[in-house]
Structure 1
Amino acid sequence: MPVNSAADLVNSDRKRVLFGAAYYAEYQPYERLTADLDLMAQAGFSVIRVGESVWSTWEPEDGHFALDWLQPVLDEAHARDISVIIGTPTYAVPPWLRHKYPETTAHRRPGLPIPYGGRQDVDFTHPAFRYLAERVIRKIVRRYTGHPAVIGWQVDNEPGIELLHNPAVFQGFVDHLRTAYRDVDTLNDRWGLTYWSHRISDWSQLWTPDGNTTPSYDLAWRRYQARLTTEFIGWQAEIVRELAVPGQFVTTCMDMGRKALDEVALGQRLDVTATNIYFPMQEGLRHPSPVETPAAGRPWWLPWSGAWGLYLKADLSYGIRREPFLVTETHAQSIGESHVNYPAYDGQWRQAVWAMVARGAAAIEYWHWHTLHFGMETYWGGVLGHSLEPGRCYDELSRTGEELRQAGGVLAGLEPEAEVAILYSLESKWALEFQPPIAAGTGGDPDRRAYDRVVATLHRGLFDAGLQAAVLSPEQLGTDAEALAARWPVLVVPALYVASDELLQLLERYAHHGGHLLLTFRSGYADEDARPRPQVMPGILREAVGAHYLEYSNLAEPVPVRGLDGHATAWADALVPDTATPLAWYEHKHVGRWPAVVTNEHGAGRVTYTGTLPDAAMARDLARWVAETTLPDDPWSTTPACVTVTGARAADGRRLRFVSNWSWETASARLPVPVMDLLSGEALDAGSELSLGPWDVRVLIERTTEQAESARNTESAKNTANSDRQEKIR
């Protein structure tokens, strides 16, 4: 049987977080397997990922397999007590497959096949591809499942990159709609196809998505594409489970946010979540965050800078299954493009590892061990550079690997703490990609990342206010509003554009039963088909919000607000309070007639509504107000601005604190409770000053008053005994 969760993985005989890298002996410019594995063992590496990118090595020709080349890698790893995760190679197909089976090529647009030369360029729904994929998967798994080094399997890699427009995929979509809507009249009505004369009288008249302008169509298409990805990865997982030996897990490496990916749905088909977590380094890890610029240590595809962005990705990863997760890829040095070279400052590698562990990571693997000497990712820096000599990165990771080994079982099954939950709606994200409410920058182009921008702004505000957040999907809320309010005293709901009546009613009951609901603009606006509700907004939630609006406006420039620090940006609902109390007002000649934020008591709880997108300062101040209104005082909150404190619960109930200094300056924090330093064993009393160097992190275990008193008595007894011995000597 496979393992049930990442907690099972870390609760193995190792009793520690797995630490390692993707390793490709087949990519090395010369034979160095023994040297590489020796260096890994010396660095405290306990896991490697292998084999996922080389189908043409596994099967050089159609039906001719070469399976033995990986054996020495597994043998050498096992000899050093390094575990192995093997990847199935289905995401990058060999040239012979494209040449012999051109019908399996993926189409980005109808009739436009993706040219060969990259990856993820196959129609994975095609029967011919499925036959070939299953054949190579079964060959690999049968060959290596019994090897004692193998602890798990990664099926495919970073699924969901492409939206498939192949004819059979489109026909499958039409068949899916026939089942979902039953008849064309229902589809016409639900999608509003009267508009622009788009009503159909027969299913064969549905047009292909490349020319679509209907929001409901686009949302249904995105749902269907994500469903295809989930089915494909689930199909692979079942093949591997059939052959895997007891105790081996099955996962895939998710690059969160891909176009055809529903992370939560896919996570249910796997044994454990595994994700990529890439983030800016150097000044891009500073806290409080610097002004966002391209020079802040990030490539174009990483939209945010600041330590909070690292925590957001980790919180999203934990939220997929609400349990510990694997980081199957994070970066050792430079990320991606040859012109983006921002390796970490001293201490930042270690900081990032402990940040991910604090938020639930049960394994951390670097992509990758050595920097490649060829290919698209030649300048994606590995643990070793092109010289293949250990350097600053290797040295710091060696220290970190030893710390993880030393921490051992304390980290097994760690549960990150959170005072606040954030509702993440993938369907709202898709709908707001199609019809963004706000512009990107000052150029006026639509911001296709609008939804994630709202989510990120609020998560950053919570982080900057010293609060910890959990990420929930609508499916994870359950139906018991009273239990939801008891578990999560604050629920943040960013831009919930697509929502059923039932979901909105659950949110209303959540507040009625004592929860503090923090809503933003665009919440409750559209139904499950992305159709705006014909109601005065915020519609079903109007009474709970205690305010309504009949119009809204974009904000071309940030507008200062009074009542909270900072500025309103991008959007302004024209909020009219009914029973709500204004919390902040725009300072503007036109929109200044309306409040920017209102709050309203509702039943035993409260609803706070922000009709704008706050900037970082306003989001932080709003989060602080919510905390002061709803949450108990946090004794750890009085730290310097550059210091963050996050908490987690060990499996045995002990409370851990991860204290980080995200700056060049030495910092200190006064301890509110007695603690023990997990790594040094040093006991510190409440009121002691905890010293942190630049880009430093301390991992602490809280001690009870009784434990602290016992430690003091023991220390006093030792001192007395030493004094008596010294007296006798004299």
Structure 2
Amino acid sequence: MKVGVDYYPEHWDVSLWEQDARQMQEAGITIVRLAEFAWSRLEPTEGKFDFEWLDQAIALLARHEIDVVIGTPTATPPVWLTHNYPDVLPVDNKGNAVFAGVRLHRCYNSPSLRKFGERIIEQITRRYASHPAVIGWQTDNELAANDCHCTNCTRLFRGWLQRKYGSLETLNREWGTVVWSGEYSDWNQVTTPLGGSPHLNPSFLLDFRRFSSDAVAEFNRFQAALIRKGSPGKFVTHNLWGYPVTADYYDMFDSMDFASVDYYPATDLQDDSKSKMYHGALTLDLTRGVKRQNFWVMEQLSGTPGCWYPMSRTPFPGMIRAYAWQSVSRGADTIVQFRWRSARIGAEQFWHGLLDHHGQPGRRFEEFVQFSTEAGKLAPLLEGTTLKHDVAMLFSHEQLNAFQIQPQADGFDYLGNIKRLHSALLRMGVGTDVINWREDFQGYKFVIAPMLYLIDEEMAGKLKRYVENGGMLLLTTRSGVKNMNNVCLPDRLPNLLTELAGAYVDEYDPGGKDAQTLSLESGERLSCGQWCDILTPVTAETTATYSGEYFAGKAAVTRNSHGKGVVYYIGTVLDEKASQVLMRRIARDAGIDCSLELPDGVEVAIRQSDERRLIFVLNLSKEPKEVSIPIRNCVRALSGGSFSGGNVKLAPGGVEILVQVSSL
């Protein structure tokens, strides 16, 4: 277990570096990330390199027993590069260059970016390959697919399509270009999606997103290969940006040793619209699922966010510590806070670090020190532990992109609807592995496969085998709608999944923000909305019916026995309460322990090895909470007291960590 900070010595007078390093060591910091935005300082002019400042910074940190992760600086091409070699800059869908001035201003397919990126990576890896303080590398920073329409991207996209479809005849047929006279008669007519209209051919748009995602993944592989050649034996990772993004993280991270994430939970707890890209526990579970192993947090919230929008609320007392422990509880083995000092220069002056602009330690800094002290104490217990779950949720960048291309109904959101199901399990204390929908899930008791809008025979067959072998499967509305080329399938929904569901969709109503009501057999009424599949059961039994409008009394939720297993189909989008009620029922049906009823804002997560279990009980809210934990024979890791089941009282931002050793 390591605790660290992101540090930018190049932003500060060298006279402060010794003070910073000493204070870091006193605060329990053992790792620092450096240089991911420093290309202009490492190569001030073309071919003229300056590593002396970085040599000095690394040596100073090493003297204070602090290890270093170096970021390759390709996220910020310097002015000399973009000025002399304009092909580095991406081109928008109107044909205009996206000029430098912020960051991430580069086209992954630019020959100049590849040429000069290769050179700076070779230089920096060669210089620090054998340095004992440099333990690993981060590629670039927060890679995401560029919407680039330059001549290089156009040429490569055309080649990508030629490899996929082989002929224009096949492409025209598979895309359905006959609509609106969009048929191509020559490959030179095929371009990237120019003009920016969201109503271009959806098959065309989805393939362009796939191509753009492939370009990111290939760029990451390019960097990883250079790093491993220049600095063999040291890890390579990347810091992913929170969901949703266009790029497919599962492909992007195939060249990485482990995943890292930049995690900034919302500080405006009543309205997280400023931080809507972050989904709390779901973000961390998604990150763990990228490589299906523990991960790092390369940037963790340290203070008031503010740059890309007006400043958000300051983290409440206890929040920094509690959310750092939340990351650990969900599989993080290293926590790196962003950042050490709040910047006094540049665009991120108000994205606050552990130290404010005056540089004096305050409440947030002391809270971080408390966390780093506790993490150091618990490091031996955390070593070798991970999360082991009976429930898997299948996540798909393919579905995410397809839904973004063609929004289904007012308010219908792929990630938001996944979060609702995930949160329902969270409230029951049920841990969930969120994994790539194409990976093996056969060993789980319960698999949630939400909104499989795009489907093929291979995926339908995997789901069928899982259920026939005794699995519990949950399908939802907007499943089996299209093939993988984003073309609607010809039969009744859910098409390839109809036999599994044991029911078909007679018709559907995209209800948007109009609320609907469900009736259970018990008489209980629940709320739903966004979308209503009006189901006709064939072999399935009806679990819930609609209560209003022309489809009153029609099936909304069904349960079907198939082989040795069971398939539930939820034909609508449940609200928070309804999600909890139905997910608890399905989890019990699957034999999952879902006995906890956690208050809002409280999370329970378990890391374990063969020798011990660590049960994290976290209050991520501003109010005191109390929760009953029926686990016996535990030791309170932070206080040393014993715990034999009962109520746990948690202050705002409160943390309790219970240790259960197998020999007890």
Match status 1:321 vs 2:284: no
Name the amino acid aligned to 2:284.
A
Match status 1:457 vs 2:420: yes
TM-score of the pair, normalised by structure 1: 0.86
Q: 1:620: which partner in 2?
A: 580
Match status 1:575 vs 2:530: no
Structure 1 contact 267–320 (Cα < 8 Å) conserved: yes
Q: 1:436: which partner in 2?
A: 407
Structure 1 contact 138–240 (Cα < 8 Å) conserved: yes
Name the amino acid aligned to 2:456.
S
After the TM superposition, which parts of structure 1 deviate over 4 Å for at least 4 consecutive aligned residues?
638-642
Match status 1:558 vs 2:528: no
Q: 1:678: which partner in 2?
A: 637
1:66 pairs, out of 50, 56, 62, with 50
The separation in 2 between residues aligned to 1:381 and 1:174, in whole angstroms, is 44
Secondary structure in structure 2 of the residue aligned to 1:644: strand
Q: 2:549: which partner in 1?
A: 589
Structure 2 contact 265–275 (Cα < 8 Å) conserved: no
- Structure 1 residue 668: Cα displacement: 4.8
Structure 2 contact 427–598 (Cα < 8 Å) conserved: no
- Give the direction of change, closer, same or farther, for the CA distance of 1:464–1:252 in structure 2 (3 Å limit): same
Structure 1 contact 504–524 (Cα < 8 Å) conserved: no
Q: After the TM superposition, which of the residue ranges 576-585 and 426-435 deviates more from structure 2?
A: 576-585
Name the amino acid aligned to 1:69.
W
- Structure 1 residue 653: Cα displacement: 3.6
- Give the direction of change, closer, same or farther, for the CA distance of 1:380–1:566 in structure 2 (3 Å limit): farther
- Structure 1 residue 534: Cα displacement: 0.4
Name the amino acid aligned to 1:516.
M
- Give the direction of change, closer, same or farther, for the CA distance of 1:565–1:374 in structure 2 (3 Å limit): farther
The separation in 2 between residues aligned to 1:316 and 1:632, in whole angstroms, is 21
- Structure 1 residue 388: Cα displacement: 0.9
Q: 1:114: which partner in 2?
A: 98
1:600 pairs, out of 527, 537, 560, with 560
The separation in 2 between residues aligned to 1:501 and 1:58, in whole angstroms, is 51
The separation in 1 between residues aligned to 2:532 and 2:13, in whole angstroms, is 58
Question: Which digits, 9 at most, give the CA deviation of each residue in 1:51-99, with x for residues without a partner?
Answer: 0101111111111111110122211211222111001111111111111
Q: 2:612: which partner in 1?
A: 654
Aligned runs of 1:220-231 on 2, under 5 Å? 220-231=207-218
The separation in 2 between residues aligned to 1:387 and 1:202, in whole angstroms, is 63
The separation in 2 between residues aligned to 1:151 and 1:565, in whole angstroms, is 57
- Structure 1 residue 321: Cα displacement: 0.4
Question: Which digits, 9 at most, give the CA deviation of each residue in 1:663-686, with x for residues without a partner?
Answer: 4225253443210122333233x3
Q: 1:263: which partner in 2?
A: 249
2:274 pairs, out of 267, 290, 300, with 300
- Give the direction of change, closer, same or farther, for the CA distance of 1:179–1:701 in structure 2 (3 Å limit): same
Structure 1 contact 492–517 (Cα < 8 Å) conserved: yes
Structure 1 contact 353–364 (Cα < 8 Å) conserved: yes
Secondary structure in structure 2 of the residue aligned to 1:579: coil
- Structure 1 residue 258: Cα displacement: 6.1
Q: After the TM superposition, which of the residue ranges 68-77 and 675-684 deviates more from structure 2?
A: 675-684
Secondary structure in structure 2 of the residue aligned to 1:112: coil
- Structure 1 residue 492: Cα displacement: 0.6
Q: 1:526: which partner in 2?
A: 482
Aligned runs of 1:37-436 on 2, under 5 Å? 37-211=21-195, 213-246=200-233, 248-257=234-243, 259-281=245-267, 284=269, 293=270, 296=271, 298=272, 300-303=274-277, 309-337=279-307, 339-436=310-407
Question: Which digits, 9 at most, give the CA deviation of each residue in 1:570-591, with x for residues without a partner?
Answer: 1001111112222222221223
| Larger gyration radius, structure 1 or structure 2 | 1
TM-score of the pair, normalised by structure 2: 0.95
Question: Which digits, 9 at most, give the CA deviation of each residue in 1:331-390, with x for residues without a partner?
Answer: 101123363232222222121111111111111111111111121111101011111111
Identity of aligned residues (%): 30
The separation in 2 between residues aligned to 1:536 and 1:518, in whole angstroms, is 19
1:536 pairs, out of 471, 488, 492, with 492
1:473 pairs, out of 426, 436, 444, with 436
- Give the direction of change, closer, same or farther, for the CA distance of 1:698–1:670 in structure 2 (3 Å limit): same
Structure 1 contact 565–621 (Cα < 8 Å) conserved: no
- Structure 1 residue 540: Cα displacement: 1.7
- Give the direction of change, closer, same or farther, for the CA distance of 1:275–1:643 in structure 2 (3 Å limit): closer
Name the amino acid aligned to 1:390.
P
RMSD across aligned C-alpha pairs, in angstroms? 1.9
Long gaps (5+) in structure 1: 1-16, 285-292, 441-446, 478-483, 708-730
Secondary structure in structure 2 of the residue aligned to 1:330: strand
Question: Which digits, 9 at most, give the CA deviation of each residue in 1:605-663, with x for residues without a partner?
Answer: 1111111111111111111111221124356x25556543211213x442211012344
Name the amino acid aligned to 1:98.
T
